[in-house]
Amino acid sequence: MSTTGTDHVGAGSAKRAARPPRPPRERSGVPPLLVAPAALGLMFLIIPLIGLMVRAPWTELPDQLGREIVRDALMRSLYTASMATLTSLLLGIPIAVVLAHGRFRGRGLVRALVTVPLVLPPVVGGVALFTALGRKGVIGEPLHDWTGWSLPFTTNAVIVAETFVAMPFLIIAVEGALRGADSRFTEAAATLGATRWYAFRRVTLPQIMPGVAAGAVLCWARALGEFGATVTFAGSLEGRTLVMPSAVYRELEAGRPGTAISLSLVLMSISVIVLASLREHWISPARTR
């Protein structure tokens, strides 16, 4: 026993030492051996971004961004990414509902197919789109013969390529939200006379809105950064299909690293804004319930 005097001074006052003992520190579960590689990895992730900031031609930045070609690429990027997100919402939410609530054989297979674009190298996705929708493609050829309409190397092709790559992000987010959504409310709606469609619109959809929003933001960010599939399927034609990522690549290839860096900075700031808007969702995913 090595109690200090304070414990004995007047049991009635019941006051412990004025300065409370240090709060107990729980031992962290991180093995010391992993700390060094973790720090190294972190530097690896951060230094390129710092490099971008350091080498950025800050003084020329306004001029660079004011150039017609840059403004054009930026506007097209924003437009196509938004259209791709809209398409993903219109097609992806129904897919998510089928995956989450459908009862049919081969649902696992469908889910696997849906996630293929996530792991597929984007350039392969672009080639695949070409074989399907290209002028000599499986669907593209009869379509072209019949209507004279051809998709590749148009702005719409950019949207298609971006949708192909980005929609799985939305589907996965929405399906997760649907699985977390409370079927008890759907039941209650049914006993109140709601058809499944009515219940979906007025009960389920409002419930999964945070998940839909998060999925849409992810989808949009992925579409905005899309390069491989877009370049393969839509090319990088100035004034038609040139979007920010392909513009960055083009500027670098043409020996204008300053412009490439400026464009990269723009894309990076958009990413940071997206990340900030998602932060709330990632940190407390259950709070919106």
Of positions 194, 213, 274, 278, contacts another protein by CB under 8 A: 194
Does residue number 202 form part of the binding site for another protein (CB under 8 A)?
A: yes
Q: Rounded to whole angstroms, how far apart are CA atoms 13 and 16?
A: 9
Positive or negative torsion for Cα 79, 83, 84, 86: positive
Question: Of the two residues 207 and 246, which places its CB atom closer to another protein in the complex?
Answer: 207
Question: Of the two residues 157 and 189, which places its CB atom closer to another protein in the complex?
Answer: 189
Binding segment (CB under 8 A) for another protein, from list 128-136, 140-148, 198-206, 237-245: 198-206
Of positions 81, 96, 133, 189, contacts another protein by CB under 8 A: 189
Dihedral Cα 171, 175, 177, 179, nearest 10 deg: 180
What letter does residue 34 receive in the DSSP assignment? G
Of positions 70, 81, 133, 203, contacts another protein by CB under 8 A: 203
Does residue number 212 form part of the binding site for another protein (CB under 8 A)?
A: no
Of positions 188, 272, 273, 275, contacts another protein by CB under 8 A: 188
Q: Rounded to whole angstroms, how far apart are CA atoms 242 and 220?
A: 17
Does residue number 190 form part of the binding site for another protein (CB under 8 A)?
A: yes
Question: Of the two residues 235 and 285, which places its CB atom closer to another protein in the complex?
Answer: 285
**What per-residue string of b and e applies to 6-15 under the rule 16 or more CB within 10 Å gives b?**
eeeeeeeeee
> In the complex, what is the shortest distance from the CB of residue 220 to another protein, in angstroms, rounded to a whole number?
24
> In the complex, what is the shortest distance from the CB of residue 173 to another protein, in angstroms, rounded to a whole number?
19
Size of the site for another protein (CB under 8 A): 17
Binding segment (CB under 8 A) for another protein, from list 62-70, 83-91, 128-136, 192-200: 192-200
- Of 21, 9, 53, nearest to 261 (Cα)? 53
- Which residue matches tokens 């929405």? 174
Question: Of the two residues 112 and 209, which places its CB atom closer to another protein in the complex?
Answer: 209
Question: Of the two residues 208 and 214, which places its CB atom closer to another protein in the complex?
Answer: 208
Does residue number 195 form part of the binding site for another protein (CB under 8 A)?
A: yes
Q: Would you state the structure tokens that stand for residue 121, as one six-digit string? A: 């190298």
DSSP notation for 223-242: HHH--HHHHHHH---TTTT-
- Of 161, 214, 10, 176, nearest to 97 (Cα)? 176
Q: Rounded to whole angstroms, how far apart are CA atoms 67 and 247?
A: 12
Contact residues for another protein, defined by CB under 8 A = 184-185, 187-195, 198, 202-203, 206-207, 289
